[in-house]
Amino acid sequence: MKIDFIKSRFMYYGFALFLVILSIGAYLTLPLNLGIDMTGGVQAEYDYTAGQVDIGTIKTMVDEAKKDIVYNTTEVVNNVNVYKISGEDKFVVEAGFSRLSGISDKDFEGLKTKFKDDITGRFASLSSVKVTMSRYINIGESFGDYIKKTAYMTLALVIIAISLYIAYAFRGSIEGFTSFSFASVTAISLFHDLVIAFGLYIIASYFFPEFKIDTFFITAMLTVLGYSINDTIVVMDRIRSNLRLPENKKKDFGTVINNSVNETMTRSIYTSSTIFIVLIAMFFFGPDSIRGFILALLFGTVVGAYSSIAIAAPILYDISGKKN
């Protein structure tokens, strides 16, 4: 059964607009659950031997140590994350630090060292397992500021670069049809996918603090853009190919678009479903350290499949000026 995407396009637009508004609203109203590479902090990796470690016990110890790291009676550690490394006898402790007003660099670094020494001493007191620190990383506040400032710029430049490449790749492919129509559709579709995936992740991280906005999340957003454009190009290329066919020269443009989308829809759904199943398996059975990355990809996969099928082609119909 063929679906008339052109006739129902305003319903699809409305749903997409609702999700975009919801996502922007979440960004403006909800607190961002930033990881330590965005705020600055410490990351310590520990090896354990002669037994099994209970992450719940480790988390309790870290929470107790967190309360002791204060500056003028104010806690400096704003969040902690503890997780095991899958397949290895190791666990990681991450702690974000807030730079309070009036605190000097020396005192601030001293509090980080105190926190590291405190939790290491607490772990050494465990009688059932031997714990030793194997790696320690101190992430400066300036690095976090740099990541935050460049993340938005990087994502915007990627969308612009991909759109310009589409304009170049589709140039002169159809007589009387400007390639910038395809480029505009690409930019709108990618913006739609990025904003909604971002917003849904912000909402998820608000209710589940273990999902941080960090460099893994930025990498996931770039991956979403790469996946989404791949699916959108398949649809756009089929539209271009069908417009070149002699039997379609006198057909309504909307009919050609509907036929093209329906011809590629099965491929898009099968591809997205396969990726979705793999990501679900990785989310529940993979390492805890990449669950946030996987969740962002899950959102991007679903939203990207929707935009490629129900948003990109109808927008091409509306902005191209080729109704006949």
Map out the domains of the chain as residue ranges.
9-33+143-319, 41-139
Most confident option among 96-100, 120-124, 207-211, 296-300: 296-300
pLDDT attached to residue 248 = 66
Does the structure show a pLDDT above 70 at 322? no
pLDDT attached to residue 50 = 66
pLDDT attached to residue 31 = 85
pLDDT attached to residue 279 = 93
pTM of the model: 0.81
pLDDT attached to residue 193 = 92
Residues 206-233 have a mean pLDDT of 86
pLDDT attached to residue 78 = 78
Residues 179-195 have a mean pLDDT of 88
Q: How far apart are CA 235 and CA 271, in angstroms?
A: 13
The 3-class SS string of the chain reads CCCCCCCCHHHHHHHHHHHHHHHHHHHHHCCCCECHHHHCEEEEEEEEECCCCCHHHHHHHHHHHHHHCEECCEECEEEEEEEECCCCCEEEEEEEECCCCCCCHHHHHHHHHHHHHHHHHHHHCCCCCEEEEEEEEEECHHHHHHHHHHHHHHHHHHHHHHHHHHHHHCCCCCCCCCCHHHHHHHHHHHHHHHHHHHHHHHHHHHHCCCCCECHHHHHHHHHHHHHHHHHHHHHHHHHHHHHHCHHHCCCCHHHHHHHHHHHHHHHHHHHHHHHHHHHHHHHHHCCHHHHHHHHHHHHHHHHHHHHHHHHHHHHHHHHCCCCC
Q: How far apart are CA 148 and CA 114, in angstroms?
A: 27
pLDDT attached to residue 176 = 65
Quote the percentage of the chain above a pLDDT of 90.
Answer: 18
Query: Which two structure tokens, joined as six digits, stand for 82?
Result: 């503890």
Query: Which two structure tokens, joined as six digits, stand for 312?
Result: 């990109």
**Residue 7 vs residues 23, 185, 251: alpha-carbon distances, Å:** 27, 18, 16
Each residue's pLDDT tens digit, 143-166: 767 777 788 888 889 889 988 888
Each residue's pLDDT tens digit, 8-51: 889 999 999 999 999 999 999 998 888 777 777 888 888 888 67
Using an 8 Å Cβ cutoff, are 254 and 6 in contact?
Answer: yes
pLDDT attached to residue 173 = 64
Sequence-distant contacts of 119-126: CB under 8 A, at least 24 apart: 119/44, 119/61, 119/62, 119/65, 119/93, 120/44, 122/61, 122/64, 122/65, 123/46, 123/58, 123/61, 126/53, 126/57
pLDDT attached to residue 151 = 82
pLDDT-based confidence at residue 261 (cuts at 50, 70, 90): confident
Residue type, 186: T
| 41-139 carries CATH number 3.40.50.300 | no
pLDDT attached to residue 19 = 95
pLDDT-based confidence at residue 175 (cuts at 50, 70, 90): low
Query: Which two structure tokens, joined as six digits, stand for 175?
Result: 């007589």
Task: Please indicate whether residue 139 or residue 27 has the higher confidence score (pLDDT).
Answer: 27
Does the structure show a pLDDT above 90 at 132? no
Does the structure show a pLDDT above 90 at 278? yes
Does the structure show a pLDDT above 90 at 296? yes
Using a 10 angstrom Cβ sphere, with 0-12 exposed, 13-18 middle and 19 or more buried, the burial of residue 96 is buried
Mean pLDDT of the chain: 84
CATH number of 9-33+143-319: 1.20.1640.10
